[in-house]
Amino acid sequence: MHCLTDYDTKILIAFNMSLQGDKKFSEFLMQNGFPELEALAEAIHSNIQALEWLAKNGYPEFAVLSNAIDDEPEAIEWLEKYHCDFLSKFAAACRKDPRAMKWFADNDLKLFIMMIANIQNILMYQSWDASDIHKFRRS
């Protein structure tokens, strides 16, 4: 199984920038053989096609990670069942679980802490958008 810890720091920085919506880094990931990280960034931003791409192209753990970040119980259980310990802790920290956040701080994983903070911001904006009456569709 794949894990975020499998990637070089430079690639993780590009992933983090892609999470923030910087298209230069999205293109960098795509052009340099890391489409799975670009798809993960898009899945975290609620792109269903990206989520499906991950599941169909050999990265089901990243698809599940995206769902676990969104606090889906089945995804959280899947990560635990298949011993994806780091991804499980990462998803929990993204959901602001205090123990998981402390684990990243105690292990001085600054780059991952920056990613987690970015994902927490993404989740906050998604929550705001979901409750914004001006963004509701009329049928």
- The residue ranges of every structural domain in the chain are 4-129
pLDDT of residue 138: 43
Instruction: Provide the residue type at 50 as one letter.
Output: A
Task: Give me 34's structure tokens.
Answer: 């890391």
How much is the average pLDDT of 53-62?
A: 97
Indicate the pTM of the whole model: 0.88
Is residue 61 classed as helix, strand or coil in its secondary structure? helix
pLDDT of residue 1: 86
Residue position matching structure tokens 């993204």: 94
